[in-house]
Structures are given as C-alpha cells and as structure tokens.
Chain A
Amino acid sequence: MKLDPAFIAEAFVKLLAAIPTTLEITFVSIGCGLILGIVTALARIYRVPVLRELSSAYVTFIRGTPMLTHLLIVMFGLPIAIDALSEALGISFRSVQVPMIGFAYVAFSITAGAYMSEVVRSGLLAVSRGQIEAAYAVGMTTWQALRRIVFPQAFAAALPNLSNSTIGMLHGSTLAFTASVVEINAKAQIVASTNWKFFESYIAAALIFWGLTIVIERLTALLEKRVARYDKGGVA
C-alpha cells in the first residue's frame, strides 16, 4: 500500500461538507459555555453564598475530568432524567426524540462552561480595583462601571485565553463521533473505511483542522490589536 496523494485531495473535498457541523458544535458550546462561565465567575468573584461553593465545585470537577466522560455521562444520564421527569409529569415526550447532537451540545457546553469560568474570572481580576473606584468617583452606577470600564478591559485581558479555549473546543468536537454525530472526524472515518485509505483521509482531516485553528488564531490576533488599543501608553 502506497500513499495516494490524489486521494488526500479527494477526501479533503468530501470532508469540507462536515465543517459546518464541527463549527456548529464548537460555537454552540462556546456560546452556552460563555454564559455559564460568566454566571459562575461572577458568583465566585462576588462571593454569593451558596452559588459560590456550587460554582467552585462545578469548575473543579469538570476541569479534573476528561471531556469524553462528560459526553458519556450526559449521553447515558440525561435520557434517564428526561424519561423519569416526563413520566412523573405524564408527558408523552421521551428521550429517544432528542437528536444525538443535542447531547453533544449539552455535554460540551458544560465542559466549556467550566473552562470559560476560569477565563472570565482571570479576565475580570486582571482589571485593577482603582478602575472601578475611579468610575464610582465620577458618579457611575455599578452596572455602568462594569459595562463601560471593567468589561472592555477584562475582554482584552481574557482574549488570548478565550481563543485558546475556542481552539480547545474545536479540537474537542472530534469527540462528538461518540454520539454518532457526523463531524469532520466521523466523516474522515467513513471516507477512510469505505475506500480503505485511512492514512490519506486522516491527513485531509488534520489539514482542515490545522487550517481552522490558524484562522482562529489570526482572527484573534486582529481582534487583539483592536481591543488592546487603549493599552499602548505614550501621549498620543
């Protein structure tokens, strides 16, 4: 068996069709994760009594276990919960009706939420206390101070980590094949086994992921230049 360069190109074209699914999983989990992350980060920063302990436990547990176990637990645990709930409420809805990609969305959002919580927290803590005090001094309300002063600076500080987490979730989306979702990795397996050319189709998959990663890195670099404008020092 020899390496067949022509087939790499062929597989590459076939895999392009799976890019939207991969990106969907990535951005849904990053989006929901960001919301979850902001809530848990704020609960920890403002030391909200019970929520704070819950958030810490959530972040520690999720960061201490592999992403695959989150997916497996959601895939096998959520149906039990849904069926028990709808039986108790007398609804005819059953877990079989939930599409498999839904479980991937839920599981990866939970994963992303814990990592996002740390990203958001470190971003917010990077803004010095004097900034918010100065905002109060000129008469802003807490919300105004957060929105106009803290968040823009925190976003700039958190951007590199945010980009890393996005790349991490992009790479993590390959696990969705466990939930029989056909994203790039699953598509590569299908293309590989139907043509019996494993090496070539995984090369194509690797190239696509490499490209996507570089695009995310480039976009972040551009965005970073834009949001870090205030931080250049000097007089002009």
Chain B
Amino acid sequence: MGASVDISYVYDYFVKLLPAIWITLEIVVFSLLIGSAVGMLIALPRLYRVPVLQRLSQVYVSFFRGTPLLIQLFLIYYGLPEMLKTLHIDVSRTPVLVFVIAAYALHSGAFISEAIRAAVGSVDRGQVEAGYAIGMTGYQAFRRIVLPQAVAVAMPVFGNLIIANLKDTSLAFSLGIMELTGKAQTLPTISQRFFESYLALALLYFMLSFVLQRLLYRLERRLLRHETADGESASTARSRRARRKDASGRLNLTEEGALR
C-alpha cells in the first residue's frame, strides 16, 4: 500500500457510491414504516395497562434495547428461518434483505414504542377530559386531540431515531447486503485505496444525515405551531414536561437517541 493519500480517489469513490444510497434508504424507509406499526402495537398494552401483554411488551422493549443491533441481526438471520420452519413455512429462498429489514424494524419498534409512550404521557389528561366534555368519543378524542399533540412532542425523539437508523444500516453489510458500507468495502479491492473509500463513505453518510436533520427540524417547527400560540415557547414547554417526567424519579431513557 502506498503511504500517500490520493484525494482524487475520494471524489472518484464518492461518485461510485452514490447508487448504493437507494439500498440504504430502502432499509431505512421500510424498517421505519414496519417499526412504527410494531412500536404502536407494543406501546398500546402499556398505555392501557393490559394485564399480561403489558409484561410481554416490557420484556420485548428491554430485550431489543438491551442487546446490540449486530447481535439482533444475526439472531434474526439465523433464528427466524428455524422458527418459521416449525410452522412449516419455508423461507430458504427469501432474499437476505427481508431479514435485514425485519431485524431493523423489530429493533426500531422497541425504541418507537418508548417514544410513543413518552409522547402520549406528556399530553395533559385535561385535554382528553375536555374532549369528552364537548361530546367526543374515545377514538375521536385520541385522534383529534391527543395524537396531534403527541406527534409534535415525539417528533424530536423520532427524528433522532430516523438518523440513528440511517447510521445503523452500516451494519447490514455483515449479512452481505451491498448498501453504502458494503459497496465502500468492495470498491477498493483492486486499487487498495481503502482509506480514501471510507473517507468518501463518511462524507456521504454525513451529508445524508445532515439533509435529513434539516428536513426534520423544519417538520418539527411546523408541528409545534400550536405550542407558541399561548405565549410559551415550544422549548420551554417541552423542558417543563421533561422536568415533570424526571420528578417521578425514573430514568428517562428515550431522551438520547441510540448511538452506534
């Protein structure tokens, strides 16, 4: 390997990496969509305190937040076919990408359920009561009153999850998916310019997460419009809620996004 660093390779690899963005984004989008559904499903028993299911979803969340994503990827890749085989479903011809998306969806589902729980908990009970008072049904009050407010509160946490998910997709290569990281590891096999390739890779990830962050920030501003109306700024309202949560003495684990 030549001791020098050739910057022109960075540009060259950057361009060559661009097509792989789609696979990365495919994993992010599908796993977040499925993950949101999973998260909702996991959050509901705990929100409504359903006896046995509540315990189960607690264990689910604890497991998926307590083990590394890489281990989960392998567990699902090797374990899911085995488990489905007992149900006489043969998945030996299913593409690997399906398992990868399943793993990411189950992983982010655990985090999303925590975000949903915290957000719904932060909406004042009086809001629901006021909804009932003017004759709304339970579902109407949830959809028209609780949901818009909860979504606004969950947005920053959800935004962190999206970016964390984008960064986590770099692990998909361990199962042989040719997304950005996989591509960056195979491109320099002839030139042996690995350093330049990884530099281009990091730049690309950075640009992706930067753009994503900007978009999410705008969305967040838009969703928090109603908060600024009564003279209290959005950030103070949120920190007030955060403080109230802290007072319960429990760890608020959803605040900081996962880092990997």
Identify the A interface with B (CB < 8 A): 1, 3, 60-61, 63-70, 72-73, 76-77, 80, 83-84, 87, 111, 115, 119, 160-161, 163-165, 167-175, 185, 188, 198-199, 202-203, 205-206, 209-210, 213-214, 217, 220-221, 224-225, 228
Contact = CB atoms under 8 A, between A and B. Distances in A.
Give the top 10 A-B pairs by smallest Cβ distance, nearest first. Answer: A171-B68, A213-B66, A66-B170, A66-B167, A198-B78, A168-B259, A76-B195, A64-B209, A210-B66, A64-B206
Contacts of B163: 64
Contacts of B3: 80, 83-84, 87
Contact of A168 (B185, B198, B206, B260): B260
Nearest to B77: A198
Contacts, number: 144
A171 B168 CA distance: 12
Contacts of A169: 259
B99 to A, nearest CB: 13
Contacts of A84: 3-4
A83 B5 CA distance: 12
Contact of B205 (A66, A111, A168, A224): A66
B106 to A, nearest CB: 13
Contacts of A119: 256
A209 B71 contact: yes
Nearest to B194: A76
B75 A69 contact: no
A65 B251 contact: no
Nearest to B166: A66
B167 A161 contact: no
Contacts of A174: 68, 70-71
Contacts of B72: 206
Interface centre among B167, B198, B209 (most CB of A within 10 A): B198
Contact of A172 (B68, B199, B210, B249): B68
Contact of B198 (A64, A72, A224): A72
A125 to B, nearest CB: 11
Contacts of B252: 160
A64 B210 contact: yes
B202 A214 contact: no
A73 B200 CA distance: 10
B67 A206 contact: yes
Contact of B170 (A69, A206, A209): A69
Contacts of A111: 259
Contacts of B23: none
B118 to A, nearest CB: 13
B259 A172 contact: yes
A73 B195 contact: yes
A198 B170 contact: no
A205 B71 contact: yes
Contacts of A175: 70, 171, 260
A161 B70 contact: no
Given A64-B205, A65-B206, A69-B181, A164 B66 contact: no
Interface SS, B side: helix
A193 to B, nearest CB: 11
Contact of A202 (B4, B66, B71, B185): B71
Given A70-B202, A77-B5, A175-B171, 6 more contacts: A73-B198, A80-B1, A84-B4, A170-B68, A172-B259, A209-B67
Nearest to B252: A160
Contacts of A185: 68, 70-71
Contacts of A68: 170-171, 181, 260
A127 to B, nearest CB: 14
13 contacts: A64-B209, A64-B213, A65-B202, A160-B252, A171-B68, A171-B69, A172-B68, A173-B68, A174-B71, A175-B260, A199-B79, A205-B71, A209-B66
A217 B66 CA distance: 10
B82 interface: yes
Interface string B197-241: 011011001100110010000000000000000000000000000
B79 to A, nearest CB: 5
Contacts of B5: 77, 80
Contact of A65 (B4, B65, B70, B167): B167
A65 B3 CA distance: 25
A175 B167 CA distance: 13
A213 B195 contact: no
Contact of B256 (A73, A80, A165, A209): A165
Nearest to A170: B68
B255 to A, nearest CB: 7
Contacts of A163: 251
